[in-house]
Amino acid sequence: MKNYLITKSRRIRSTPYTSRIEKQGVTAYTSYNHMLLPAAFGSLEDTYHHLKEHVQVWDVAGERQVEISGKDSAELMQLMTCRDLSKSKDGRCYYCPIIDDQAGLINDPVVLRHNEKKWWISIADSDVILFAKGLAIGNKFEVKIIEPNVNIMAVQGPKSFKLMEKIFGEKIKKLKFFGFDYFNFKGTKHLIAQSGWSKQGGYEIYVENTKSGLELYDYLFEIGKEFNVKPGCPNLIERIESALLSYGNDMDINDNPFECGFDKFVNLDSDITFLGIEKLKKIKFEGISKKLMGVQIDTKEISLSESLDIKNENNAKIGELRSACYSPQFKKVIGIAMINSPYWEVSESIQIEINGNAFNGKVCDLPFI
């Protein structure tokens, strides 16, 4: 698959870090929430190995925030998600599938609870702000909904903990996974969460003061030399091996939380009200007919820009491949696929056509590692 240039415009915004990452050698972009998101810094495989061994700083400003504040903000936040937030706590992050009235996935964001009257929805790629405003207007909620000027940078990798401790001291060691707090950098406070779109561990820095954030970005590279810090971005290989799902790629509005393996985030027995609750109860009672699973394919090359049909040995379609890459660990292509029932048995034989060539493979569980 040939890659083409992305033209910058008001519709696809640069980030505060764009000029820096371009000097640092970014080689590809994608578009995310109408913003540039770095997609590569040279070899995907080289950056994969570096991420698993060292530390990277990512420009993920495209991970925009939807801020909901006001008297009815908690009620609106709960209406949007099938996860019970009634016992949520200030200073914590929550993975919250957002669904519509038919239980179709609108988004799968991480929600930050500042307090009962202020929430940030850290969204995947979709216009959640319009969905939230529609629900607020329709229900006459007393809320304010905005996209605040928050530009996230992520510090990811096993050495991220030592790097961040060197800058922010002992306090940051007390921050638990999916917790957040404010930390001082040269007189400016920054909200930092122990989170990120990798399984290697790390932090996300929610930059509200752009000037200070750029100084911090530069300082991370200055101080991080001893930890072999490099610029990076969410890595496709590491993401698929770890089964970190990508909204718009692995699932969309045509899929429901049960099909995506989000069962533990669906709280049907709680005393809460959310959009699509009756539909989800019906789906749970009747069962699902498809679900996300892993596949291994006996080839070493793939470039995926659209879903590919997966067939069985009788040439009948049994699912579709939604994300895929070559895995250095498995020495073959692995992928995330939506597989139809009754073909959920691990090691179920499959066939798939890639660029006119047929390859064999098998179904497997997620995650791969």
| 38 contacts 233 by C-beta, under 8 angstroms | yes
Q: What is the mean pLDDT of residues 19-38?
A: 95
How much is the mean pLDDT over the chain? 96
Residue 127 has pLDDT above 90, yes or no: no
Q: What is the mean pLDDT of residues 227-239?
A: 98
Residue 2 has pLDDT above 80, yes or no: no
* Predicted pLDDT of residue 341: 96
For 85-115, how does the pLDDT look when each residue is reduced to its tens digit (9 = 90+)?
999 999 999 999 999 999 999 999 999 999 9
Instruction: Compute the 3-state secondary structure of the chain and give helix, strand, coil in percent, each to the nearest 5.
Output: 25, 35, 45
Q: What percent of the chain has pLDDT over 70?
A: 99
Q: How confident is the model at residue 9 (pLDDT cuts 50, 70, 90)?
A: confident
Residue 1 has pLDDT above 70, yes or no: no
Residue 137 has pLDDT above 60, yes or no: yes
> Which CB contacts under 8 angstroms, 24+ apart, belong to 84-92?
84/267, 84/270, 84/272, 85/111, 85/113, 85/272, 86/270, 86/271, 86/272, 88/113, 89/113, 90/114, 90/115, 90/116, 91/179, 91/180, 91/181, 92/178, 92/179, 92/180
Residue 3 has pLDDT above 80, yes or no: no
Q: What is the mean pLDDT of residues 122-133?
A: 92
- How many other β-carbons are positioned within 10 Å of the β-carbon of residue 89? 10
* Predicted pLDDT of residue 124: 83
> Strand 229-232 and strand 55-59: pairing?
parallel
For 261-276, how does the pLDDT look when each residue is reduced to its tens digit (9 = 90+)?
999 999 999 999 999 9
Q: What is the mean pLDDT of residues 127-146?
A: 97
Please, what are the domains in the chain?
Answer: 18-62+150-240 (3.30.1360.120), 65-138+256-287 (3.30.70.1400), 289-369 (2.40.30.110)
Residue 57 has φ and ψ, to the nearest 5°, of -110, 125
| 323 contacts 299 by C-beta, under 8 angstroms | no
Q: What is the mean pLDDT of residues 140-163?
A: 98
* Predicted pLDDT of residue 125: 85
**N- to C-terminal Cα separation, the chain:** 27
Q: Give me the amino acid identity at 168.
A: F
* Predicted pLDDT of residue 173: 96
Q: What is the mean pLDDT of residues 4-27?
A: 90
Q: What is the mean pLDDT of residues 23-36?
A: 94
Sign of the CA dihedral with 13 first, then 15, 21, and 23 last: positive
Q: What is the mean pLDDT of residues 169-192?
A: 97
Q: Rounded to two decimals, what is the model's pTM?
A: 0.95
Q: Say how far apart CA 181 and CA 146 lie, in whole Å.
A: 21
180: tokens are 């957040």
* Predicted pLDDT of residue 260: 98
**Longest Cα–Cα distance in the chain:** 66
Instruction: Give the count of alpha carbons within 13 A of 317, CB side only.
Output: 9
Residue 309 has pLDDT above 60, yes or no: yes
For 188-227, how does the pLDDT look when each residue is reduced to its tens digit (9 = 90+)?
999 999 999 999 999 999 999 999 999 999 999 999 999 9
Residue 187 has pLDDT above 70, yes or no: yes
> Strand 144-146 and strand 65-69: pairing?
antiparallel
Q: Say how far apart CA 319 and CA 159 lie, in whole Å.
A: 39
